[in-house]
């Protein structure tokens, strides 16, 4: 996401210069990917949908049984991260990562270990997403069966995204048992005969915060929305495709390469444009 390192990071209760921040080589996040993370966007220094992001983070911590000793004033920490990065008038995101902590390597949970908490803010180009046209390809969904947990163990996502990147595509959309689940770091939507479809919430997709925003906006705009999975064989028949995500925001898909290397092309449709415009208006009113 970020193309350069931050100058300041929060590590276990302290704000430090990034080059002075040290984590144990025995940290379970480093050794085992035993941790969760969250990414919270901000526009002109103002966090967007931060309460929903924090609820998801707390859900993930609970699901993997990582307990924080103290209750965080998350809104204050997020604001401080933005200020420490000197981004109070900029667009960007706050990254939060919490691992189980440092302990001798075991496959069971260690006792009496303090979690490692890392937080920092970084600048991002978030404006202009409505003008981008995404190219995606279809890849097998080889991830585990708890994709609802925003785990730091992302090797399957990374491999699928690298496959797309290597072929000059923007994203891989993932197919599991003949249906499309989501992207490697985005949620997947399609529009067919004026109805918006997205994979139902559950263990095979991340409960995307921007995804939820789109679902709620469909209700507000009286656009029919169904949480139903799209069979891969029906891709040709849909009218519009778009992706959502914290940093992708709402991104129109205009080209899809299938597993047999055949290509489907789409145009940015009216519903995608409505979602993008409503999103922009909400950001402008922060």
User: Catalytic positions, please?
Assistant: 150
C-alpha 181/C-alpha 46 separation (Å) is 31
Residues contacting 35, CB < 8 A, separation 6+: 28, 29, 64, 66, 97, 98, 99, 100, 116, 151, 152
123 contacts 36 by C-beta, under 8 angstroms: no
Q: How far is CA 21 from CA 86, 95, 127, 133, in A?
A: 19, 15, 31, 39
Rounded Cα distance, 157 and 141, in Å: 9
Residue with tokens 């529009």: 191
**Euclidean distance between the first and the last CA atom of the chain, given in angstroms as a whole number:** 23
């Amino acid at each position: 996401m970020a193309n350069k390192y931050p100058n300041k990071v929060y590590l276990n209760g302290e704000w430090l210069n990034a080059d002075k921040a040290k984590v144990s080589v025995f940290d379970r996040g480093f050794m085992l990917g035993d941790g969760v993370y969250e990414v919270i966007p901000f526009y002109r220094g103002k966090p967007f949908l931060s309460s929903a992001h924090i609820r998801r983070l707390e859900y993930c911590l609970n699901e993997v049984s990582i307990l924080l000793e103290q209750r965080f004033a998350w809104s204050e920490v997020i604001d401080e991260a933005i200020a420490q990065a000197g981004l109070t008038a900029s667009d960007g995101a706050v990254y939060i990562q919490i691992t189980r902590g440092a302990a001798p390597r075991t496959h069971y949970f260690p006792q009496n270990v303090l979690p490692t908490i890392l937080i920092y803010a970084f600048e991002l180009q978030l404006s202009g997403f409505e003008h981008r046209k995404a190219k995606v390809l279809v890849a097998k969904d080889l991830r585990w069966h708890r994709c609802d947990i925003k785990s730091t163990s992302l090797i399957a996502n990374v491999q699928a995204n690298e496959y797309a990147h290597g072929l000059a595509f923007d994203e891989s959309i993932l197919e599991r048992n003949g249906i499309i689940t989501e992207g490697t770091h985005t949620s997947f939507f399609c529009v067919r005969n004026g109805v918006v479809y997205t994979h139902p919430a559950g263990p095979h997709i991340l409960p995307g915060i921007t995804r939820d925003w789109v679902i709620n906006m469909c209700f507000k705009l009286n656009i029919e929305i169904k949480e139903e999975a799209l069979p891969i064989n029906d891709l040709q028949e849909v009218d519009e495709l778009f992706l959502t995500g914290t940093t992708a925001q709402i991104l129109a898909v205009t080209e899809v390469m299938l597993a047999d290397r055949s290509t489907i092309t789409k145009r940015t449709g009216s519903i995608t444009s409505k979602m993008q415009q409503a999103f922009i208006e909400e950001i402008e009113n922060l």
